[in-house]
Amino acid sequence: MGIVDALGADVTSTRIGQRIAHHSDLRRQCGLAQYAVAEAAVLAAVPARLDAVAAAALPCAAMTAYQAVVRRLRVEPGDTVLVTGGAGGVGGFAVQLASLAGGHVIATASTWNADHVLGLGAHEVFDYHSEDIAALVACRRLVMVHLTGRLVSGRFLPLCQIGLLLWVRRRSGRSG
């Protein structure tokens, strides 16, 4: 999160003084620097109603969810969407985006997070501690955003009811 201080010669997509947020390149330094150089194309304008702390929280978790739900899985009205880890950082955004896209959203979460996840737009919440999620969803054709380390198992995948699966997980020490 920052304020545009200077522009390259051909940049027209933003302006000096614009509040912007972006996800810096994890392979490079500068995320916490006072000044940083970024491609104009990766900057998102921050609306006035959004404070700096909320804006800074968006690019990583929310963009990950956006890429999964909107760009990759292209959730549409009528899709049944399973979001594992629906109360988590990425999952909370995935639930909201899938619900906004018109999907019927099933989320996994601990019981104490169920009301929170329902409030984000989930239609059904199952506690992964006590429920057999694979059995519960076995009869449904799913779009699945998988955000936890387990569940995609030799038992789950061969059910072949999954239309699309995007597994977001940590790769080589980095989120991927």
Ligand X SMILES: NC(=O)c1ccc[n+]([C@@H]2O[C@H](COP(=O)([O-])OP(=O)(O)OC[C@H]3O[C@@H](n4cnc5c(N)ncnc54)[C@H](OP(=O)(O)O)[C@@H]3O)[C@@H](O)[C@H]2O)c1
Q: Closest residue (Cβ) to ligand X? A: 88
Please give the helix or strand (H or E) that residue 93 lies within, else none.
Answer: helix 89-100
Strand order in the sheet with 19-21: 2-3, 19-21, 44-45
Q: Which is nearer to ligand X, 50 or 60 (CB)?
A: 60
Q: How far is the CB of 139 from ligand X (least distance, A)?
A: 20
Nearer to ligand X, 93 or 104 (CB): 93
CB of 164 to ligand X, least distance (A): 17
Would you report the helix, strand and coil content of the chain in percent, each value rounded to 5? 30, 20, 50
Q: Which is nearer to ligand X, 11 or 136 (CB)?
A: 136
Name the site residues for ligand X (rule: CB under 6 A). 60-61, 64, 84-85, 87-91, 108-110, 113, 128, 147-148, 150, 168-170, 175
CB of 34 to ligand X, least distance (A): 23
CB of 88 to ligand X, least distance (A): 2
What angle, 0 to 180 degrees and rounded to 10, lies between the N-to-C axes of helices 52-66 and 89-100? Answer: 70
Task: Take residue 149 and report the two structure tokens written for it.
Answer: 């380390």
- Running DSSP on this structure, what letter comes out for residue 60? H
